[in-house]
Structure 1
Amino acid sequence: MTGPLTPGALRRRPAFRLTPLASAVALALLGALPAHAQQSGDAAATTPAAPATDQLKLESVVVTANRRVEKLEDVPASISVLGEEYMQRNNVRELVDIINLSPALSVSVGTQVGTNSINMRGIGTTSNNLGIEGDVAILVDDIPYAQTQQAFKDMTDMARVEVLKGPQSTLFGKSAIAGAVVMTTKPIGAGPMQTRVSVYDTSDHEYRVAASLSGRLTDTFGLRLYASKTNFPGMLHNLTNDSMQNGSGAKTFMAKLQWKISNDLDVLITPRFDHSLATGNTAAITSIGPGVGYLYNKNYTALSNTAVLRGIHVSQWNREIRNDSPTGLEATDRALGVRVNYAFPDSSPLAGHSLTSITSVDNNLSNDFRDNDNIDLISTYYQVNAAGKPSGIAESPMINGTLESKTSTQEFRLTSPDRGNFRYLVGLWAARNTLYRTYLRGNAFVKETNYTNYDTNSGSLTHAIYANTNWDFAPKQSLSAGLRYNHEANDYSFHTIDSLSSTAANNVHTGENLYVAPQNKENAVTGKVGYTYHLNDEMMVYGTASTGHKGVAYDMTSGANNVNVFAHLPLAPEKATSFEAGFKANLWNNRATLNAAIFQTRFRDYQTSATERFTDGSQASVLYSIPSLQTRGFEADATVLATRALLLNASMAYTRAVVRDWTQGPCYSGATDCTIPNQLVPGSFLRDASGGMMPNAPKWKASMGGEYTLPAVSWMPYVAAINAQWRTQAKVQGAISQDPSLQRPGYGIFDLGASIKDAKGKYKLSFGVKNLFDHHYAVGNVGSFLNFKKAAGGSDIRSYGWQPARDAFRYTSIRLDVAF
């Protein structure tokens, strides 16, 4: 196993192969049906371990989309659920693993891990500005993450993940305008204390170690303790220091302490600590034009392409790089949740009701860093100073930023009994969120390093009241409705310590400046309404309409060093209107389920960034609203218990996420239709981007899979199974500019696994082959890599790169789970 994951110090280990595993998998293939692929709608559905006389049926799947526990088939909404067994079978560790298993989700990879974003039905934030909230809310045990970047780490000790599609602002708040991912961790065991240990290792040197202790100490007190350590060195080999890049690892500790004070009152306390390090999102060069050239300027002969790329074997699937500084995100998260639940006694006027209080505090401190020039030669040394001479500064032009996020929330819910024709929930919500950002880039005396040094604050105080109702007004018909009133107050300041003017001819410093915005206040109302008709006891159809709202945004990037930017702040709220119709069925005596939906959602004033030239001749990146976007399509999840031994599941999504109205779209290199006068930069031209595809939004994405339990042998007290998974997606556009060089082709990935466990479930040994057919594919950062100036003049020598996905190359795994 490798040591702790540290920036720039991930040494390579000699490769090894689990050849016995490959042999075992080949034998398993000969003896069983290859049930391929995934399901997003699987969830807790597993093959029942019951005598042959028991009724053969799928286990029930429960969700909390309406803030109460309900059966999936009773909720009029498109929801995909990933259950514990399914996630374990697919070795889910990080949020990206969940995204891979859910066709409605995709990820946009930024220049740094901290600017990655999540897309739901093709819609997500496309700006790297931390002042813009994400479009998809992430909640763990009813507690939301303040920043999307907090979710790109280990998703530990998970029991269930619900993917709620479409606007969820009414019940989950303003950051759920496109949808929500709701995660539930494993509960405290109902019996005596039990320990579980899990160890995982792969042929490309990833390891995971986890242990939990859970159970009841007394009739009134129970606890669950969980700790884990994970490490994956990375996908790219840095020749400069023989380390690995684009990896991740974490140390996590979680606890649940539950005290049943009386029959009506219980308290759950959930502290959590997490330290994570992700070394991405670095690209590797894949192709380069012929000839010899020089980086930045043809006079920088020491920065020739032969020197910069020395030792790198440039090829389509190259994984070698040369960086003298690491790139990544290191974060520490400390959180505490307190949940108090009171069940009103039978003698109360509110008999059967429950009152729940959920309190949380979270402090997340992260440090993002990046190799600014993407080479291992000190480019600053050769770049010119204000006098036009090489600076001679032997200091690498790194990027280093910090973000401190502090969040506190308080929620009260009154929930009616589950029985009766009319059910309701009423809630009060309050949250305070503050962001403090520092950022240092480049060198103060070398303009080409884009020097900037600033700090900025952004804070919000939110109060909301919401309600949700369900009314069975006829034997087969019901109505549901929800409403939320939200009040938000925002504060913002930006402090330029110093920077080099991006548009001045020489090294002109902007100097120090402090801007404090007046407090902004706004009110918003969102709602949803739905109708359900039960065709019979097993099938229902539904239709829903809902609205979404995301709050104002402030600029927390270096663009705000230009004082003209503040006239644009705050950026107007983003809004959405959605319509959905669906069908849900339990078929074949509860041995099969089918959930299908069609949808259309329109977004107004979509928040992003653009470049503006001001009246004083300067220009900068500013926050900007795209008038209209739209996503529509079809999605379905299915699960079939074909036999007592064979479980199959599949899910798919067809999505058309497009820009409806944007006549001021950006031009890209080589664009020939830049004929629209730029309203922000007089004298320049843009292109009409209306009709363009949203970035990282595949038109179709699907997955299918299954597990087959091998026939039992009387003389062997073990249960063996094989499983298979296939997922595929169409090509995607890499940028909202529609630059064709940033498109990434579609792909299909096939995984195979096998497991054996004892009949009592105390031991389980699992094997797996990820990407069995070794199909290489990129997750981001395709397109232009480095450009070199030819010594003889003429066109630049262009190069291109890629960022391989975690499973872009085949690897094998072994896992041992022990309970005692």
Structure 2
Amino acid sequence: MIKSERFVRVALLSTIGMLSMGVATAAHAQEQTPAATDTATADEEVGGEIIVTASKREKTLQDTPISVSVTGAEAIKRSQVRDLIDLQTLVPSLKVGQLQSSANTNFIIRGFGNGANNAGIEPSVGVFIDGVYRSRSAAQIGDLPNIQRIEVLRGPQSTLFGKNASAGIISIVTKEPQFKFGGNLEASYGNYNAIVVKGDITGPISETLAFSLGGNFNKRDGFSKYINLNQDNNNRNRWGLRGQLLFEPSDAFKLRIIGDYDKIDEVCCSISNIFDGPTGNAVRALGGNLVSNQPYALDSYANFASINKIDNYGISAQADFDLTDTLSLTSISAYRAVRSFTNADSDFTSADLIGENSNHTKIDTYTQELRIASNFDGPVNFLLGAYGFHEKIDSQAQLLYGKDFRGYANLLTGGNYSAFEPTLRALNGIPATVAPFGSQGLGRHEDYNYTNDALSIFGQLDFEPVENLTLTVGANYTNDWKKVATNNSTTDTFSTIDLVQTGANAGLPGSIPAGIYTPGILYPRTNSCSTVTGAPPASPGNPTRSGSCNPFLAFAPLQFLPGFLNFPNVVESGKTHDDNLSYTLRANYKFSRQLSVYATYATGFKATSFNLSYDSRPFAADFIPGSPAQVPAPAASPIRTAGLALANLTTGTRFARPEKSQVYEVGVKGQFEGFGFNLAVFKQILKDFQSNVFQGTGFVLGNAEKQSTVGFELDGSLTPVKGLNFTASVTYLDPKYDLFTGGSAFNPLTNTVVPTNLTGQTPSGISDWSVAVGGTYTLDVGGDNSVTFHTDYAMNSAYQIAQGLPYKASVESLNASIAFGLANGLEFSVWGRNLTEPQYNPVIFPGVAQTGSLSGYPPPPATYGGTVRFKF
């Protein structure tokens, strides 16, 4: 295993050396293959230049003054990139995290990104496929046939892409149907019985109508197991179909219709035990087991295998019409649907503590984009457009106790959970018809209805006052409306008991001072009394003020599922309305056809995100938490005045405020014969970054007032001789929470997440250095036959995995392939991914219902196999 720090130095020196060599070589490379900052196929090049649509116009990569990485079909094929999760090995600025299910994937660019684990949070990184927005990660990770290129636009892109692009854009472009018959067929077999088949066929139906039809099938045994179930985990089982029609009756009009359907039905994902906390012995006492203190273990225990079922489908129509020789109109209409069902044994042990943790989500999204663009010969050109968005989400979830939960609660309380039940029932008037505390099947039931409507008007003006200098100004005005209604309930009667009031009902002499009592905190016990730390000192008039001889308070940590205050109600409307003007100012100067520089200031915007989880709680301005039996009693607040207060109700957030970003960026682009590079230096700032933190029983949604990153990105490509191409990319990031007073971090003494002022700290999960290097050599062996050797290596320097904990991760990936291509279109290859099998945990989180334990996601093992392709 190469040491991370040493490799960073070596990789940087190698990159600088390659770039320097490229400059020296460029003048002698006139007859060599043109190079670019990705490995592109001939279909993606026009006159040796890569065409991209990052600016919603077809331009060469050199003429696109945006920090963008382009990964072509050839690079995707050679590196065996199956989906967007694999793409991060080729694009250092992009990080993709696979979380607890196939429906939860997080995309991060330049250290900014969110959106997984909560259907109410829109991602900060927008994903577009053939110009159509995919609003949630469940609709973004499927395999796609016949990809032409993937563009990763870094930094805020809200001027042209609206509210979905505060941190960046991933744009996937597939090939249009062709009026010449042809196609591709590919079949792979690898370890873990991995079978991947994909293909497409295209051709004319008439002189004006062409079609393409593609499909993919991806199945693999799991690379881990549930030990006690003897069943695979982390398998692959997904397939998809995609059809296109292209109607082109004239050079002035083109209509492209795309319909697709893909399905995922697999078991995912492995969870490892990083730290076996104080609850581990209770699990074992019940006869259960867990893989203890093995952070990289792939195998685990569970009562049932997880379920991940996703249906993703939609239809889109793009019409391009040349109004005149200099004006063109584009319309993109789309409907997308996602249906997902997940269920997992979330305690990750063979003890039946959590019997069900399921989620069923339906997402329907309608989008319409209309834009007009000019192509004048003069110094001024423009693009004007409008974008409409309507989305509806229906989400139902359940978390139910298993048959061992009651016994588990008794072990944690020395038998008192059951022993005190008759007393608690009597003191709170709970009838005998109510199920015993902690019974199997008790739990919480969630129902969320979410509607989002948005309208954007955008435009961009390019002005060339003198030759080779282009000044750009662009703006996007967005209105966004959201509406949420909940219908949540709990059948866990124990969690709805006011333990402070219970003590008062029992005539106990003390109570918790206002603002101190919080469900979920285990108060230290002394002589059967709970002493509250941090309480005001005792006084003659209130001798028990400093503590509470209320033994019932010891049960507070087991009140996992208290009642939920549904909204809208008379205090909370469940509605938000945001509007914003984002804009871009840019100057771009071309010294020559090969060299240009640009400077950009741009802003971005993402609208309010709702917390569609059981941890959605009233804002502090609407409610003062506490029990009426406290001394003194909680003061009046709007929710209390309206008579809506529930026992054990606490404050938090219903939604996170809008996220606003800005970037200062200077870039240089060079494209020479045999050598190319892109360099961007930037400072990027996000205000009110929407933070989503898991705290062991749910997610807390909040805002980081200000987070910034200073850094640079350097991509380079060198072709010293025909057939040989080197690529290198380096990203450096220096992130900081400039202001985050309402943050959360682990307490390293207890391994629990607690409120923490993170101002001045470095955000977790972000590497300082990310490096990707690769090489491809194609050797002509005669008769139009060839052998192609390829390897690429990606490395991220060590980063802190979780705020407050000392654990770090350093991620690396080595991929390689050898392909033998025949003149008749056949190609045979052998390949391997993740060959170094690094050990790291990209994410750490508190054990579910296991206070003091830590869980994480272990890395995947190496995969390898062989592929046969036929192009006709």
Matches within 5 A, 1:579-728: 579-587=664-672, 590-609=673-692, 622-670=700-748, 686-713=755-782, 717-728=784-795
2:827 pairs with one of 743, 764, 772:
764
- Could you tell me whether the CA contact under 8 Å between 2:199 and 2:215 is conserved in 1? yes
| Offset, 1:668 | 1.7
- Could you tell me whether the CA contact under 8 Å between 2:314 and 2:336 is conserved in 1? yes
Say which one has the larger Rg. 2
Mapped partners of 1:775, 1:363: distance in 2: 36
Matches within 5 A, 1:357-756: 357-379=331-353, 397-417=355-375, 419-443=377-401, 447=438, 451-500=443-492, 501=495, 503=519, 505=556, 510=563, 513=566, 515=568, 517=573, 519-560=575-616, 568-587=653-672, 590-609=673-692, 622-670=700-748, 686-713=755-782, 717-735=784-802, 737-741=803-807, 743-744=808-809, 746-756=810-820
Partner AA of 2:237 in structure 1: G
Cα distance change, pair 649–509 in 1 and its aligned pair in 2 (3 A)? closer
- Could you tell me whether the CA contact under 8 Å between 2:98 and 2:104 is conserved in 1? yes
Partner of 2:413: none
Partner AA of 1:707 in structure 2: T
| Offset, 1:59 | 2.8
Cα distance change, pair 477–241 in 1 and its aligned pair in 2 (3 A)? same
Of 64-73 and 103-112, more deviation after overlay is shown by 103-112
Mapped partners of 1:337, 1:647: distance in 2: 37
2:837 pairs with one of 775, 780, 795:
775
| Offset, 1:803 | 2.8
Cα distance change, pair 754–484 in 1 and its aligned pair in 2 (3 A)? same
- Could you tell me whether the CA contact under 8 Å between 2:715 and 2:728 is conserved in 1? yes
Partner of 2:221: 233
SS at match of 2:85: helix
Cα distance change, pair 672–368 in 1 and its aligned pair in 2 (3 A)? closer
Does 1:265 find its partner at 2:343?
no
2:158 pairs with one of 164, 169, 192:
169
Mapped partners of 1:685, 1:276: distance in 2: 36
- Could you tell me whether the CA contact under 8 Å between 2:115 and 2:136 is conserved in 1? no
Of 239-248 and 432-441, more deviation after overlay is shown by 239-248
Partner of 1:337: 316
| Offset, 1:94 | 1.3
1:274 pairs with one of 241, 244, 262:
262
2:857 pairs with one of 803, 814, 817:
803
Does 1:220 find its partner at 2:208?
yes
Cα distance change, pair 106–546 in 1 and its aligned pair in 2 (3 A)? same
Partner deviation per Cα, 1:588-639 (whole Å, 9 max, x = no partner): xx22111001011111111225799xxxxxx996532211101120101111
SS at match of 2:344: strand
- Could you tell me whether the CA contact under 8 Å between 1:673 and 1:687 is conserved in 2? no
Mapped partners of 2:106, 2:223: distance in 1: 21
SS at match of 2:62: helix
SS at match of 1:778: coil
| Offset, 1:84 | 0.5
Mapped partners of 2:764, 2:821: distance in 1: 43
SS at match of 2:743: coil
Cα distance change, pair 547–258 in 1 and its aligned pair in 2 (3 A)? same
SS at match of 1:174: helix
Cα distance change, pair 572–284 in 1 and its aligned pair in 2 (3 A)? closer
Partner AA of 2:452 in structure 1: S
Partner deviation per Cα, 1:774-819 (whole Å, 9 max, x = no partner): 332235344766998xxxxxxx9x776553333xx33321111113
Does 1:356 find its partner at 2:333?
no
- Could you tell me whether the CA contact under 8 Å between 2:395 and 2:447 is conserved in 1? yes
Of 568-577 and 700-709, more deviation after overlay is shown by 568-577
Partner of 2:867: 815
Does 1:327 find its partner at 2:306?
yes
Partner deviation per Cα, 1:239-273 (whole Å, 9 max, x = no partner): 22322212333110001101123442222110110
| Offset, 1:531 | 0.5
Partner AA of 2:298 in structure 1: R
- Could you tell me whether the CA contact under 8 Å between 1:313 and 1:320 is conserved in 2? no
Mapped partners of 2:161, 2:439: distance in 1: 44
- Could you tell me whether the CA contact under 8 Å between 1:46 and 1:59 is conserved in 2? no
**Unpaired runs of 5+ in structure 1?**
1-32, 34-39, 50-55, 345-349, 380-395, 613-618, 675-683, 789-795
- Could you tell me whether the CA contact under 8 Å between 2:655 and 2:702 is conserved in 1? no
2:198 pairs with one of 177, 193, 210:
210
| Offset, 1:492 | 1.0
Mapped partners of 1:158, 1:166: distance in 2: 24
- Could you tell me whether the CA contact under 8 Å between 2:89 and 2:813 is conserved in 1? no
Cα distance change, pair 778–672 in 1 and its aligned pair in 2 (3 A)? closer
| Offset, 1:62 | 1.3
Partner of 1:389: none
With normalisation by structure 2, the TM-score equals 0.76
Partner of 2:12: none
Aligned residues: 711
Mapped partners of 2:680, 2:663: distance in 1: 13
SS at match of 2:765: coil
Cα distance change, pair 282–520 in 1 and its aligned pair in 2 (3 A)? same
With normalisation by structure 1, the TM-score equals 0.80
Mapped partners of 2:46, 2:188: distance in 1: 32
Partner deviation per Cα, 1:479-498 (whole Å, 9 max, x = no partner): 11211111122211111133
SS at match of 1:320: coil
Partner of 1:66: 55
Mapped partners of 2:244, 2:191: distance in 1: 34
| Offset, 1:752 | 2.1
Partner deviation per Cα, 1:664-704 (whole Å, 9 max, x = no partner): 43242326999xxxxxxxxx985431232223221111111
Of 546-555 and 532-541, more deviation after overlay is shown by 532-541
**Unpaired runs of 5+ in structure 2?**
1-17, 19-34, 402-434, 497-518, 520-554, 619-644
Mapped partners of 2:437, 2:75: distance in 1: 53
SS at match of 1:453: strand
Partner deviation per Cα, 1:286-326 (whole Å, 9 max, x = no partner): 6769xxx86474xx76425xx514xx697564332121222
SS at match of 1:545: strand
SS at match of 2:88: helix
Partner AA of 1:641 in structure 2: T
Partner of 1:7: none
- Could you tell me whether the CA contact under 8 Å between 1:127 and 1:608 is conserved in 2? no
Cα distance change, pair 331–781 in 1 and its aligned pair in 2 (3 A)? same
Mapped partners of 1:224, 1:519: distance in 2: 43
Mapped partners of 2:812, 2:754: distance in 1: 40
- Could you tell me whether the CA contact under 8 Å between 1:62 and 1:71 is conserved in 2? yes
Partner deviation per Cα, 1:205-244 (whole Å, 9 max, x = no partner): 2221112111222210100000111023333122223222
Cα distance change, pair 41–330 in 1 and its aligned pair in 2 (3 A)? farther
Mapped partners of 1:816, 1:198: distance in 2: 6
Mapped partners of 2:202, 2:595: distance in 1: 39
Cα distance change, pair 747–406 in 1 and its aligned pair in 2 (3 A)? closer
| Offset, 1:336 | 0.3
